[in-house]
Amino acid sequence: MVEIGGIAVAIRADDENFLQSVRQRYAGFLSVSSPDVELDVDLSARGPVSDEDVHVCRDGRDWLMERGDFRARWNPESGRGQVKQSSNPYALDSVLRILHSLILARRGGFLLHAASAVLPGEPGARAFLFSGVSGAGKTTIARLAPQDALLLSDEISYVRPAGSGYMASGTPFSGELAEPGENCDAPLSALFFLEKGPGNRIEEIPVSEAIRRLMRNILFFAEDHELVEPLLAAACHFVEKVPVRRLTFYPDNKVWGEVRDFEALPEHV
């Protein structure tokens, strides 16, 4: 059982070597919870890991997901699904990302191209998101994180509603650091859109720009107009509840001092 963001996925296969590789790949996210999703994996003779685009669409009541190295079908009502894929566990990694994006879209959350980390503090630990286009500095920010920070992800962050705000959860979906995030979560304190510059500064951005930039960085695989509206509504609600700022930074660890100072401002405590 692989549990990410409180959603548990049972993975079944006849190949014990494959299951062992899955256990190793998701070691920090294994669970004994009751499954929300059950996947039967058939290691059919499909191609190797593929760079082609993923195709995700509805097929009746099911979702159909396909790429060169996998073909999956999942029914959101029963939670049951079937996956035909190569033996490479990274094909399953893609299936899990798609499944979580579909589930979160109906719950007001999303997967975001962003690094994320948790900082300790009073009255409790808080999470921060660092998003941007490729090369903006997500991996750099993650590498510069202080020793007391818990890295949730350097590439794909998990965001879900909780009470009057949002929570950020750790994911095993890694980027350049090739390390899974910590399996923990914390209330979200801010989202920073990254830009590199000669110094460190945090600036407000217009709400309309914040929503546009957020939508550009949300992982959305499905070719389905019915999910676009709730996803846009989720983005608007998120920007209303969570401070969104531009963080221009020079790549040294002083930038994390700016993040801590932002959290300490009276309106953010």
HEC profile for the chain?
CEEECCEEEEEECCCHHHHHHHHHHCHHHECCCCCCEEEEEECCCCCCCCCCCCEEEEECCEEEEEECCEEEEECCCCCEEEEEECCCHHHHHHHHHHHHHHHHHHHCCEEEEEEEEEECCCCCCEEEEEECCCCCCHHHHHHCCCCCCEEEECCEEEEEEECCEEEEECCCCCCCCCCCCCCCEEEEEEEEEEEECCCCEEEECCHHHHHHHHHHHECCCECCHHHHHHHHHHHHHHHHHCCEEEEEECCCCCHHHHHHHHHHCHHHC
Q: State pTM to two decimals.
A: 0.91
**pLDDT tens digit sequence for 83-134:** 999 887 789 999 999 999 999 998 999 999 999 999 987 678 899 999 988 8
Does residue 269 have a pLDDT over 60? no
Asked if pLDDT for residue 266 goes beyond 50, the answer is no
Q: Which domains can be identified in the chain, with CATH numbers?
A: 2-107 (no CATH), 110-268 (3.90.228.20)
Query: Could you report the per-residue pLDDT of 13-62, keeping only the tens digit for each?
Result: 999 999 999 999 999 999 998 999 999 999 975 555 555 788 999 999 99
Q: Does 216 score more than 80 pLDDT?
A: yes
What residues contact 147, with CB distance under 8 A and at least 6 apart? Answer: none
Average pLDDT over residues 145-174: 93
Question: Model confidence over 219-256: pLDDT tens digits?
Answer: 988 878 788 888 999 999 999 999 999 999 998 889 99
Predicted local confidence at residue 26, as pLDDT = 94
